[in-house]
Homo-oligomer: A and B are copies of this chain.
Amino acid sequence: MHESQLLDIEEIVRDSFDEDEAGHLAERLNQLEPEELAVALESLPLEQRMQAWHQLELEQQIQTLHHMREDARQNIFDRLADEELSVLVDGMDVDDLIELLDELPSAVYQAACSKLDADDKRWLATALAYDDDQCGRYADHDVLTIRNNSKVRDAVRMFRKLHEDAEYQDSLMVVDRTGRFFGLLSGTRLLGQPSHLPIVEFIDEEVPQVQGEMHLDEGSDLVARSGYTALPVVDSEGKLLGRMSIGEALENLRRSLEGQFMHTAGLDENEDLFAPVIQSAKSRAIWLGINLLTAFLAAWTIGLFEATLQQVVALAVLMPIVASMGGIAGSQTLTLIIRGLALGQITHQTYFTLLRKELGVGLINGVIWALVIFAVTWLWFGDAIIGAVIAMAIVINILVAAFSGVVIPIWLEKFKIDPALSGSVILTTVTDVIGFFVFLGLGSLLLL
């Protein structure tokens, strides 16, 4: 059985808490792949994480960092002595350095960069010319290239130089004499071919290319859908910068989808499970503060109707039902639309079809549940008019929720604001404020 099936987080955590098991822990960790080590380290509280970290070889440490979340990585860097950090950084190649640019202390980073050779310095400059959410920044430098006028024997020689553990390297990247990407040459296509033939007749020239300026998510999608194990990343002139493998694409997509999920709660996708308390409290405080502002807005709306509430206290009792039904209905629509936007599935032409559909869904569910609420309220308070007031408020608020659930995320996206992050807070503000206003307003009109 292969090492990859040895990842047993429970066991690793147990060993990391028990000093007598340090040897066993080291042995276990050294059997794991870097992707697995990253998952394992992130599962450990900081003290145990550092203990496990120190059991790893330098090369393993560097590989593992690459697969960890930013915050979890940062928490390791923060706990290393300066000399340890220098040794670590000295072992990194230029691709690692590019990735860790924002996380390493600037002195350490500068020192490492100054030691790079001319080629690597040029590569660093090229990569840093792209933004940190663009594919050009993270193009994998470790790519086997061959000129398009080569012979089969040259290609075979290159393939035989491949490390046995090179991941997703079943093809060579073919370039022309100016360095522009020309096509992919698959190793298996060369099997049994005479070695004097030119490779040109075996080259796949119909390969999608990832543009350096593409957003990381877009490039990753392209790689994932292409059916190739890696695609070339090229600059605006078509020159080969590097490659993006399906493994990288998969990690990018995972992060982006995890981000969508985490953002709905105002969290960053990089949040470390075991971040120090102060650090976590800080990163979450803003979200609570924003929410507090909107809650005061809702309270202020209620405050407009103090006189009514004093006379009909049943309205105060029922308020949360109006707000919560609106919030839930709205977040269903919102979530569907956010997913659609993320996949590029929502267009101008279908905008109104969607709005009509969601309003239709809202009307049906609004009316059904309003009838239920009407009946329960009537029974509870023995007053049909209170029932009618809340029923009307529910229908209106669910329609408002459906409308907002479509309009808010599309509008946010237009202004390049992440709808997963801000959508729900804006939506619930709308449904709270309008819900309370309509409910208490109707109550004032019909019950006083």
Chain A interface (Cβ < 8 Å from any Cβ of B) = 1-5, 9-10, 13-14, 17, 33, 35-36, 39, 42-45, 156, 159-160, 162, 164-165, 167-168, 170, 186-188, 190-192, 195, 204, 206-209, 222, 224-227, 229, 246-247, 249-250, 253-254, 257-258, 260-262, 264-267, 271, 273-275, 277-278, 280-281, 284-285, 287-289, 291-292, 294-296, 298-299, 302-303, 306, 309-310, 313-314, 316-321, 323-325, 328-329, 331-332, 334-336, 338-340, 343-350, 353-354, 357, 360-361, 364-365, 368-369, 372-373, 376, 428, 432, 436
Contact = CB atoms under 8 A, between A and B. Distances in A.
A2 B209 contact: yes
Nearest to A420: B261
A284 B170 contact: no
Contacts of A340: 43, 273
A352 B4 CA distance: 29
Contacts of A289: 369, 372
A347 B157 CA distance: 49
B227 A288 contact: no
Given A266-B328, A372-B292, A2 B207 contact: yes
Given A165-B227, A369-B288, A347 B302 contact: no
A10 B225 contact: no
Contact of A277 (B9, B10, B360, B376): B360
A324 B154 CA distance: 67
A264 B261 contact: yes
A345 B9 contact: yes
Nearest to A300: B317
Contacts of A287: 328, 332
A306 to B, nearest CB: 5
Contacts of A249: 250
Contacts of A376: 296
B317 A357 contact: no
A418 to B, nearest CB: 13
Contact of A328 (B160, B190, B277, B288): B288
A176 to B, nearest CB: 16
Contact of A4 (B164, B170, B226): B226
Given A165-B227, A262-B339, A299 B273 contact: no
A329 B306 CA distance: 28
A446 to B, nearest CB: 19
29 contacts: A4-B222, A9-B345, A10-B347, A13-B350, A14-B349, A17-B349, A35-B224, A159-B191, A160-B191, A229-B246, A246-B247, A246-B250, A254-B257, A260-B261, A264-B264, A266-B332, A267-B332, A267-B335, A273-B346, A274-B354, A275-B357, A280-B361, A281-B361, A285-B365, A285-B369, A288-B325, A292-B372, A295-B320, A303-B317
**From A271, A314, A319, residue with most partner B Cβ within 10 Å:** A319
A9 B344 contact: yes
Contacts of A336: 262, 265, 267, 271, 273
A146 to B, nearest CB: 13
A262 B310 CA distance: 41
Q: For the complex of A and B, list the 4 residue pairs with the smallest distance between their C-beta atoms, beginning with the closest.
A: A187-B188, A316-B316, A265-B335, A170-B170
A157 to B, nearest CB: 8
Nearest to A261: B261
Contact of A43 (B43, B277, B302, B346): B346
